[in-house]
A and B are shown apart, each in its own frame.
Chain A
Amino acid sequence: MSKIVTVYIDGQPYQAEEGQNLLQIALANQVDIPHLCHHPDLPADHNCRLCLVKHEGEVSTSCEIQAREGLRIETKDAEIQELRTENLKLILASHLEKCPKCQKQLPCPAAGLMKKYGVTSEEYRRKMLDLSVHKMSNAAEFDPNLCVRCGLCVSACANIGINFLKLEGKSSDAHLTHSQNPKVDCIYCGQCTVSCPVGAIREQSHLEEVEAVLADPEKIVIVQMAPSVRASIGEEFALEPGINLEKKMFTALRRLGFDKIFDVNMGADITTMVEAEELAERLRQKFAGEKPSLPMFTSCCPGWVKFLEFYYPELISHLTTARSPHIHSGAAYKTWWAQKAGIDPNRIVVVSLMPCTSKKYEADMDKLTFEFAGYKLKPVDLVLTTRETAALLKKHQLDLPNLPESEADLEGEYSGAAAIYGASGGVMESALRTTAHLLTGQELPKVDLQEVRGMKGIKKATIKIGEQEIRVAVVATPRNARNILEKIKRGVEEYDYIEFMACPGGCIGGGGQPLQGTAETIKKRIAALYTIDAEKKVRRAHENPVVQEFLAFVKADPSLAEKILYTTYSAKNKFE
């Protein structure tokens, strides 16, 4: 434990750990100091030079001053304001004219700073480099000519273990680019988009398409919200992280004009059922002395699946063949629900609200389309990130925190097991609750599996199901995934079932979540998800009556079941 010292910011005393930098201390105490290149979970690079303060009469960046007893800084000095403003003009030269996020009013730290310091971005012309916008498949994109070269996206990409993004070139030619190494590829997780302070790297927006279908009287527009979105969207409305706004969201979505309010959580219960059946089958084979492909890997994270298909194609057979939750439920609406409601499935548009950018890439996969009622259908048509969803609500003057609460439509019903899909370990826990039921006909003695919860990047546990011990692991980020996969390949460690997620903390720390989330924010969001689970009467996927009804419908038609419950995988090339 470091020594606690008192530092003075604008004359006010604050307690801090000795050696901690003054920018962190100021931010932790709600003292406003502008910054673009700082993120509490990423290494400091001190390059934006905006967090200037006065220290012993000299101008210095606060991120470079380390706390010691009695240290004093001034943040409001006129010279400091002048220098910060000039620097902001230089950094953001020509920003506005190029920024689609500014134009769509998507949340962005730089936009706030421009307003605060009266910088229009027209003070200077930027040096335009002959570089085009790079598309990361259908998920995200970056514009090197909008980038301020803070390097946060590069650090975020390195931090999760991919190293696809990099800064190249010197002087005014320094620019964001990607690795030319044929063995390095983006997995579309979008962690870079969460860290970007200026909208240079961002999701590929579906906002305009969503507004267009909402305005089209011919379309039946179904919206479904992922588990994580309800626990994080409040942050976009200045609420504390970890406040569950599920019921207010249902109201907001109705007011936006969606025809049906369903829930990805219902899809998560379908996925749990399909995946648990497959796991139970592979385990039965193992107990019978056969050699099924074990450990079985989860597949609901498209970033993780792309990672495996690109970096470890030889392990593809380990992936569960179950599709992911919103793909499962999307197809359920267009088949089972459409038939029940007597609606032409071709009129249905499914919009998923996801904490994720790779879900945009997944929704567009040709392999997931299916034939039904004479149409070729996509399970999900459009995907909005949490950030886009918030922008849509704001555009329509929906003040989310102050809306009344309401319920989802009937087919949106879900179990507690679905709610925790958003947290790393949640898929594992849900699947084990149901696998135990399938293997033994009985429920696990304890419904909560504390061993697989929490923010640790690799969690290992042995779970007793009946007389058998099931060895499981829960892994978040490609960095940790490599660690485990290499051990499996070398036969150093053995498992029966492993959950993998691309993002730290799971979907709740996803690439589509509110900007600049930190490990601390993610922890609070996770707590909200486990509270939902704990408060649900139905805690197991196999007890969800809606899912039972859907599965009875789909299993009556094995060829349809094959088309909408399962998927296949293949080795991927760079940019595929």
Chain B
Amino acid sequence: MYLKDELLNAIEKEALVGRGGAAFPVARKWRRIRDLQKPKKYVVCNASEGEPDVSKDFFLLEHYPVEVFKGMLLTMDFLQTKEGYFYINKNYYQALQAKIDPLLEFCRQRGYLINLFKEEPTYIGGETGALLNSIEGKKVQPRYKNPSPSVLGIFGAPVLLHNVETFYDVACVATDKFEQTRLTTISGDGLSQPGVFRVKNEQSVSDILRQTDNLPDFDFFVQVGGGAAGEVLTSAQAETAILSGSGSIRVFPRTISPYSFLKNLFAFYTRESCGKCSPCRDGSWQLLQLLTGLNEESELPWERFSPIIKIMDKGSFCNLGKSIALPVRSYADNILGIKV
């Protein structure tokens, strides 16, 4: 098993990236925090998983909890710290308590103080700044970009934060079992095998659907990457597209009406906006209002969506509000042939 510097080198060689969605190089994060002269550092595991259509972290905690905790302890050893947080979606904890509690106790007995933090499940709760605020007892809202959590994370100390899958990958690298794969969550009505699958990093979306026996026998399009925030692609584009973000693939029948598709999307943003900044908070709600009174057959008021999408994209405080532009624009452009 690789430890400390060897492990860092191995991680760098395998080009491990964060699996929370941002794909930040793991080795860079490790080195940056290791080099800080701070008396205290925290390692935090993000098991919030608030994106719709993503359940890979649940899958890992259900089937590979030992590996996830092993990854966490290896990271703590690397940083020479004994303190950490296991930040988990409350519903996940309820379902997985029997697996998680003994592991926390195991860590405790070996002198690793990993605090359990049960989160009220929200989308924004998994955003780094909001997550750290939540641990500090502050409002669950994203933070200003400076200083970075790697420098000032919680209680004045730097935080090394990874997603569940990233810690799992760290454990795999340490034991030479990492094979350049990642997890995907496949969902959608009418699929034969929806669920979580292990796939190769460079595999195309259509290939993944084929290999997992999920290629639909109906006309379809896909939304790929970050759940509701993912990019919308035609089945033809899916032949070459590579999995991104948190690895979700959602399949939609071509027959779904623009009204239904957008209503779902706008409702997600309206529900999950943290309420901090006006473009996201007010924009998402106004978008949903623009659908009031319309139905499956209605012509949609794209000219009214457009300025709201634009201010959300360019003006939102965090990536949640900004992220609405990608699904709306790619859906309009790729599926409907409309420029927004």
Contacts and interface: CB of A to CB of B under 8 A. Distances in A.
Interface centre among A82, A90, A125, A127 (most CB of B within 10 A): A90
A110 to B, nearest CB: 12
Contact of B282 (A44, A64, A93): A93
B317 A49 contact: yes
Nearest to A66: B146
Contacts of A52: 314-315
Contacts of B140: 170
A258 to B, nearest CB: 43
Contacts of B315: 49, 52, 59, 61, 83, 87
A170 B282 contact: no
A125 B289 contact: yes
Given A47-B278, A91-B278, A171 B284 contact: yes
Contacts of A47: 276-278, 317
A124 interface: yes
A174 B278 contact: no
A149 interface: yes
A474 interface: no
Contacts of B278: 47-49, 87, 90-91, 148-149
A47 B277 CA distance: 4
Given A170-B122, A170-B274, A87 B311 contact: yes
B285 A172 contact: yes
Interface stretch (B10-18, B265-273, B294-302): B265-273
Interface in B245-280: 270-279
Contacts of B21: none
Interface in A83-130: 83, 86-87, 90-91, 93, 124-125, 127
Given A49-B277, A90-B283, A149-B281, A44 B311 contact: no
A87 B279 contact: yes
B186 interface: no
Contact of A44 (B144, B272, B277, B310): B144
Judged by DSSP, the binding face of B is helix
A173 interface: yes
- By size class, the interface of chain A is 20 to 34
Nearest to A171: B273
A468 B134 CA distance: 55
A46 interface: yes
Interface in B85-122: 122
B92 to A, nearest CB: 20
Contacts of A125: 289
A571 interface: no
A499 to B, nearest CB: 35
Interface centre among B146, B307, B314 (most CB of A within 10 A): B314
A167 interface: yes
A57 interface: no
A170 B273 contact: yes
Contact of A86 (B277, B281, B308): B308
Contacts of B44: none
Contacts of A86: 307-308, 310-311
Nearest to B274: A170
A124 B281 CA distance: 14
Nearest to B269: A171
A129 B145 CA distance: 31
B7 interface: no
A169 interface: yes
A61 B278 CA distance: 13
B210 interface: no
Contacts of B276: 45, 47, 149, 174
B305 to A, nearest CB: 12
B139 interface: yes
Contacts of B145: 64
A91 B281 CA distance: 9
B279 A171 contact: no
Interface in A41-86: 44-49, 52, 59, 61, 64, 66, 82-83, 86
B286 interface: yes
Contact of A83 (B139, B272, B282, B311): B311
Contacts of A172: 270, 273, 275, 281-282, 284-285
Contacts of A44: 144
Complex A-B, nearest 8 residue pairs according to Cβ-Cβ distance, in ascending order: A174-B275, A172-B285, A90-B282, A171-B273, A59-B314, A49-B315, A170-B275, A91-B278
14 contacts: A47-B277, A48-B278, A49-B311, A49-B315, A64-B145, A66-B146, A83-B315, A86-B307, A86-B311, A167-B139, A170-B273, A171-B271, A171-B284, A172-B285
Interface of B: 122, 124, 139-140, 144-146, 270-279, 281-286, 289, 307-308, 310-311, 314-317
Given A59-B314, A125-B289, A169-B275, 5 more contacts: A45-B276, A46-B317, A83-B311, A90-B278, A149-B275
